[in-house]
Amino acid sequence: MNHWLLKTEPSTFGIEHLAAAPRQTTGWDGVRNYQARNFIRDMKKGDEAFLYHSSCAVPAIVAIVTVVKAAYPDQTAFDRKDDHYDPDSDPASPRWYSMDIKLKRRLKREITLEELKRHARDELSGMILLRAGNRLSVTPVDEQHWRFILSLE
């Protein structure tokens, strides 16, 4: 099993939206960055991810989700009425991918970006989320980083 971090804006889609979704499951679509897309294609059913709230008052990891359906073509890319429509995306050769996630559990407490940054030079050295300028919405999380972050709960 691999571990990931999914970055989302809680005003658009956050833990409350996921918790209210049927069976606490939803598609993760609309990603329009090639590197993040490649990470989505690498994700497998059963992989786990931290759900991270960004672009909010207190950015933080808030939950753990499970991938319940691996990568498949992102249908929003083909829908002219959708905000994520991509006129250059072709259903015969999709450019963008989605996956389905399910809420596994909320963290016992939110682990803030500020708290994570305090460990950026030691236990969390090299974590993509903590790199200057990182804006990726999907990133891998090393096993040692995963375990350390869970220990902060």
By the 10 Å C-beta count (0-12 exposed, 13-18 middle, 19+ buried), 34 is classed as exposed
Mean pLDDT of the chain: 95
127-130: list long-range contacts, CB under 8 Å, 24+ apart: 128/5, 129/5, 129/7, 129/52
Per residue in 13-45, pLDDT (tens digit) is: 999 999 999 999 999 988 999 999 999 999 999
Reported as type and span, the H/E element at residue 18 is helix 15-20
Per residue in 84-122, pLDDT (tens digit) is: 999 999 999 999 999 999 999 999 999 999 999 999 999
Query: What's the whole-model pTM score?
Result: 0.93
Domain, as residue range, for 123:
3-151
Q: What pLDDT does 135 receive?
A: 85
Concatenated DSSP letters of 102-134: EEEEEEEEEEEHHHHHTTTTTTTTT-GGGSTT-
The single residue listed with the structure tokens 């002219």 is 80
Tokens of 38: 């490649």
Residue % of the chain over a pLDDT of 70: 100
Q: Is the pLDDT of residue 134 over 90?
A: no
Q: What pLDDT does 5 receive?
A: 97
Domain count, the chain: 1
Domain at 118, CATH number: 3.10.590.10
Tokens of 26: 């939803």
Q: What pLDDT does 146 receive?
A: 98
